[in-house]
A = this chain, B = another copy of it.
Amino acid sequence: MYDFTAPFQHPAGSPIRELFKYLGEPGMISFAGGYPASDLFDAEGLQAAAAKAWQASTRCLQYGPTDGLPELKTQLLALMARRGVTCAPEEMLVTTGSQQGLDLLLRVLLNPGDTALTEQPAYPATLQALRLQQAHVVTVPVDGDGIDVDNLAARLASGAIVRPKLLYTVPTFANPTGATLTRERRLALLRLAVQYRFAIVEDDPYGDLRFAGNAVPSMLALASEVEGSRDWIVHFSSLSKVVAPGLRVGWAIAPAEITRRCVIAKQTVDLCSTPWTQAIAAHYLEAGSLERHLPHITQAYRGKCEALCDGLRAQFGEELAFHQPEGGMFVWARIPGVVIGTLLPNAIANKVIFVPGKAFFADDPDTASLRLSFAAPNVDEIREGVARLKRATHATRTASVASVPA
């Protein structure tokens, strides 16, 4: 009936969300979601913040400025200062989660057919956002130290990649790989951005979730060490993973002219992000609750991550390869010789789910890879889940041993 020939053609929807139907099954253990652990939310601190916000109830209930409530921006600027970044209010835009920041940026910056670089594997919603804007997506491989900057440099130098407009990356505790880009690679990437004049889109929702190793400054913070690079950085962050996604509070930091254009686009898109939860977030941050509560989250995630990694080593040994992350929510694994798309139904039958790695590839998927999130299940569930995964893997190998090369 309708003529659905509009540019946005991705009727299948998110491959991750397709798995949600299994979450409600009794006894299912999920390594699939990208959700933070609900039992670690700081309900007490948020309730106190909500009560304070309500003292100015009109502020909660009326429309707010498109770029965000000033009192929230003040708190977010202070938070960024603690992360080593100085920026001006006119460089910051409060968004409905950092997801919206990416959508606004792509609408402001990209023409159909423009080349956009992403790490591979990458967050699927980013790939979907790039498709929605009809970008020409070019991928750069990732290893245990993040995006392979030498690979990118060589392809830029040889002309294999021509005039990219931007590069999207989650440099710290990446989704899906859990990898963190080294300081050296960050600096090299900043130099490439200046040289080849492309924007680095740094998505940083997980950076505060470090539970091991030494902190690496964000690309935005490191921009002060590479002349001219600050002009080429757009930085997204969010309270979704460190406070609560239900606030829908994210923010973008970009050169003022980009921010100004994103603000104008946002007037059209949703006028303003929810003022009520913005006011709550402002009071939560002002009270110092983030700093107070964050260690509880990172400590719990450390235990969960160790349970998962120890379990994988104990159950699988050399059969499964992975890189143990120093923070975040994800472990990226490979089971050579197993087609993960075939493993998944066996896993579901064994009451455990995860996301097949294929979902994170724009091209040429690694069919032996999978993403395991340790954030939501508790330590006992994680141990049991790994045992189930092992059983499912065994069942898959037994059934397919003749047809799949080892």
Contacts and interface: CB of A to CB of B under 8 A. Distances in A.
Interface string A40-51: 010100110010
A392 to B, nearest CB: 27
A169 interface: no
A10 interface: yes
A53 to B, nearest CB: 10
Contacts of A246: 59-64, 274-276
A180 interface: no
Contacts of A110: 6
A395 interface: no
A248 B261 contact: no
A78 interface: no
Q: How large is the interface on A (under 10, 10 to 19, 20 to 34, 35 or more residues)?
A: 35 or more
Contacts of A66: 17
A63 to B, nearest CB: 5
Nearest to A38: B58
B14 A100 contact: no
Contacts of A257: 2, 4
A4 B109 CA distance: 6
Interface in A229-266: 231, 240, 244-248, 255, 257-258, 260-261, 263-265
Contacts of A62: 35-36, 38, 41, 244-246
Interface string A284-299: 0000000000000000
Contacts of A54: 47, 50
B274 A274 contact: yes
B265 A8 contact: yes
A129 interface: yes
A324 interface: no
Contacts of A245: 61-63, 271, 275
A214 interface: no
Interface string A100-132: 100100011111100000000000010011001
A273 interface: yes
Most chain B CB within 10 A, of A59, A107, A280, is at A107
Contacts of A5: 111
A223 interface: no
Given A111-B7, A277-B274, A41 B13 contact: no
* Copies of this chain: 2
A99 B272 CA distance: 10
A1 interface: yes
A57 B35 contact: no
A247 B60 CA distance: 8
A271 B128 CA distance: 12
A97 B57 contact: no
A270 B4 contact: no
A11 B260 contact: yes
B96 A270 contact: yes
A261 B11 contact: yes
Interface string A72-108: 0000000000000000000000011101100100011
Nearest to A107: B8
Contacts of A8: 107-108, 261, 265
A400 interface: no
Nearest to A257: B2
Interface string A123-145: 00100110010000000000000
Contacts of A247: 61, 274, 276
A267 interface: yes
7 contacts: A6-B111, A7-B107, A11-B261, A38-B62, A99-B268, A246-B275, A277-B277
Top 5 A-B residue pairs of the complex, sorted by shortest distance between their CB atoms: A61-B244, A61-B246, A274-B274, A96-B270, A246-B275
